[in-house]
Amino acid sequence: MASLPILTVLEQSDVSPPPATVDDRSLPLTFFDISWLPFHPVHHLFFYDLPITKTHFIETVIPNLKRSLSITLQHFFPFAGNLIVFPTPTRKPEIRYLEGDSVALTVADCTLEFNDLTGNHPRDCDKFYHLIPQLPKAAKGPDHVTIPVFAVQVTLFPDCGISIGMTNHHFLADASTRFYFLKAWTSFARCGSDESFLANGTLPFFDRVVNYPKLDESYLKNAKVETFCEGYQPQSLSGPTDKVRVTLILTRTVIDRLKKWVSTQLPTLAYVSSFTVACGYFWSCIAKSRNDELQLFGFTINCRARMDPPLPAAYFGNCVVPCIAMAKTALLMNGKEGFLTAAKLLGENLHKILTDKDGVVKDIGPLDELLSQGMPTTIIGVAGTPRLHFYDLDFGWGKPRKHETISIDYNDSISLSACKESTEDLEIGVSLSATEMEAFVNIFHGGLEAYL
């Protein structure tokens, strides 16, 4: 007997803002956005417990999601627009919305095991790729390239639950903007209209008040936009791979003990936080599982409130600056001292950026000075932040059972967020080869025993 297909597409459609609610508009990219042009798309996946039939899914759930998404796009029009790239570094790319532009929506059902996918144990990365949407293909015009920026896939696991997968280009929005968008969409879906959100929420701030022409010019030149007119298509994830993903939890108790130990050993270290000790501990563990020379660890900082003058929290787009540290792997491998080194480097670099009297933008620029130490063999990035509570996003079915950042599979990034059960606990998503994951998890859990 033939096996059932893993995924069956039930419908493919396009969702636009309600007719005549959004004028034709464009939003120029700033250097904050332009810096992300060469990067892969971002993929997020939310699982919800919802034991329903296919009939209820098609007749009730999908129409409500479409209707609420349409209303959301009325207020967040760039998600329905396209990036317009011109074949010259003298003209900035822009996100352009024209009447009728839309978001590609895929509706499907799936035979994969819902409870397996939503666990914390090692799970095959390949399985998740069925649940995230592909972005529509870019289109080449006579004087520009048109690149869709956002897509959605809703997948039913009959009598178990559903998943909502989203793909967007990072140049469209950082995590803060994406969270505002999802807060609006979930509110509209849960309440049936935008009245409650408009009364209590915050609409996006579209004014392009970030004005650094020289940085715009420099970043645009480095982005090599002329190559976008030579057959550009977005990257995507596909199997087979040998990678597995694991979710690790650091409880508040463990985090406090890590912070206390770092503060005791380094009493003059100016910045010790839950974030820096969690990242520092992870960094030291991954170093112990690899035999390379030099490692780079980086994350981004939301700098809306740190601009001069400060930007509104609802500023639309990207407004983050990088914080990067490098170390020889040998310095990170030495037991507790390796963790201490990692936490010290991250704390010092973060404190320097946050307290610079000249502002956060001053240090944005080439990595030449940092890379003078050599080219790192391992580059680890952090996707997400515990400050944004993605587990609060309720479409009307309760909180998500699980949130996964699938795009960490492109490289050695990790995801970091507040836990569902307690926002004081941290959830770390890791994607590694099956062999390396086994060694890493043993090092991670075994190392914590020294602090308990």
Q: Where are the domains of the chain?
A: 7-229, 243-451
Per-residue pLDDT, 87: 85
- How crowded is residue 194: how many other Cβ atoms within 10 Å of its Cβ? 18
**Tens of pLDDT, residues 48-83:** 999 999 999 999 999 999 999 999 999 999 999 999
**How many whole angstroms separate alpha carbon 353 and alpha carbon 355?**
6
Label residue 366 by pLDDT band (50, 70, 90).
very low
Fold of 7-229: Chloramphenicol Acetyltransferase (3.30.559)
Could you tell me the pTM of the whole model?
Answer: 0.94
Residues 6+ apart with CB under 8 A from 103: 14, 15, 16, 69, 73, 79, 80, 150, 151, 152
Biggest CA–CA distance in the chain, Å, is 70
Q: Tens of pLDDT along 151-187?
A: 999 999 999 999 999 999 999 999 999 999 999 999 9
Return the pLDDT at 365: 53
Strand partners, 320: 302
User: What tokens appear for 176 in the block?
Assistant: 């803060």
Pairing relationship of beta strands 7-15 and 123-124 according to DSSP bridges = unpaired
Selected from 3.90.580.10, 3.30.559.10, 3.40.470.10, 3.90.1300.10, the CATH number assigned to the domain covering 243-451 reads 3.30.559.10
Q: Does residue 373 contact residue 285 with C-beta atoms inside 8 Å?
A: no
pLDDT at 371: 52
Q: Quick one: pLDDT band at residue 4, thresholds 50, 70, 90?
A: confident
**Cβ contacts of 59 within 8 Å, gap of 6 or more:** none
Average pLDDT for 135-142 = 92
Our separate counts of H helices and E strands in the chain read 14, 18
Q: Which residue has the higher pLDDT, 372 or 56?
A: 56
Close Cβ partners of 249 (under 8 Å, ≥ 6 residues apart): 120, 419, 425, 426, 427, 428
pLDDT recorded at residue 222:
87
**Catalytically active residues, by annotation:** 170, 394
Report the distance separating Cα 289 and Cα 287, nearest Å: 5
- Of the pLDDT bands very low, low, confident and very high (cuts 50, 70, 90), residue 360 is confident
Among candidate residues 4, 11, 112, the one with its CA nearest the CA of residue 59: 11
User: Comparing 7-229 with 243-451, is the CATH topology the same?
Assistant: yes
Q: What is the dihedral of CA 243, 411, 136, 187, to 10 degrees?
A: 90
Edge-to-edge strand list for the sheet holding 145-148: 25-28, 94-97, 82-85, 145-148, 139-140
pLDDT for residue 12 is more than 90: yes
Q: Per-residue pLDDT tens for 309-331?
A: 999 999 999 999 999 999 999 99
